């Protein structure tokens, strides 16, 4: 696996290395030793799978607060997405900056989202499927989010927003009610 740091401290785009032969290909999408040698969390306690039907749909920007902060590893296994992370760690040199990358079935890239980051994505095609690894179990009482179109973040979504959940649309703006808990 190739671990490439993003512009946001502690986050990485990960490229699995494929091995090809006459049968097709094989790749490792996770190796605890390789993650730990790269200084990354290599312990996953929950694995989620999502399906998004409609191109232009945005899901996010989600995170969990203390005591259930989580690291995520995200991979698109069908279709294409624009994956976005936002650094919410107040002490970070990249606080409130965002990074986006296309994840799709062709490039097979993954994104490593450290604790203290919000995460979301926009479906660039219909019928998108994602696999998420989580370092903490889902905690509804500690789940939070920030507004996907917060002007202070100025996230550049590549397509017009076609659909967003009522819950995701109700998240606060950074300058309104947001308080970092990392």
Closest C-alpha among 8, 81, 69, 75 to residue 41:
69
119 is catalytic: no
Closest C-alpha among 138, 159, 157, 141 to residue 149:
157
Q: How many CB atoms lie within 10 A of CB 16?
A: 18
The active-site residue out of 12, 20, 62, 119 is: 62
Say if CB 108 and CB 16 are below 8 A apart: yes
The active-site residue out of 95, 112, 132, 134 is: 132
Closest C-alpha among 86, 141, 140 to residue 114:
86
Token readout for 165 is: 């959940």
Instruction: Output b/e per residue, 23-35; b: 16+ Cβ within 10 A.
Output: eeeeeeeeeeeeb
Task: Please name the helix (run of DSSP H) or strand (run of DSSP E) that holds residue 168, with its range, or none.
Answer: helix 166-169
The catalytic site residues sit at: 62, 132
């Amino acid at each position: 696996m190739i671990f490439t740091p993003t512009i946001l401290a502690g986050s990485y785009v990960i490229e699995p290395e494929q091995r090809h032969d006459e049968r097709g290909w094989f790749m490792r999408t996770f190796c605890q030793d390789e993650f730990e040698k790269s200084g990354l969390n290599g312990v996953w306690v929950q694995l989620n799978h999502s399906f998004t039907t409609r191109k232009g749909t945005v899901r996010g920007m989600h995170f969990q607060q203390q005591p259930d902060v989580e690291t995520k590893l995200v991979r698109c296994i069908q279709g294409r997405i624009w994956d976005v992370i936002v650094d919410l760690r107040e002490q970070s040199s990249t606080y409130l900056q965002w990074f986006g990358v296309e994840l799709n079935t062709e490039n097979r890239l993954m994104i490593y989202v450290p604790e203290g980051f919000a995460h979301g994505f926009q479906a660039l095609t219909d019928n998108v499927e994602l696999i998420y690894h989580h370092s903490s179990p889902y905690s509804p009482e500690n789940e939070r989010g920030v507004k996907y179109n917060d002007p202070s973040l100025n996230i550049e979504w590549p397509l017009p927003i076609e659909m967003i959940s009522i819950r995701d649309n109700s998240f606060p703006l950074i300058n309104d009610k947001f308080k970092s808990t990392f």
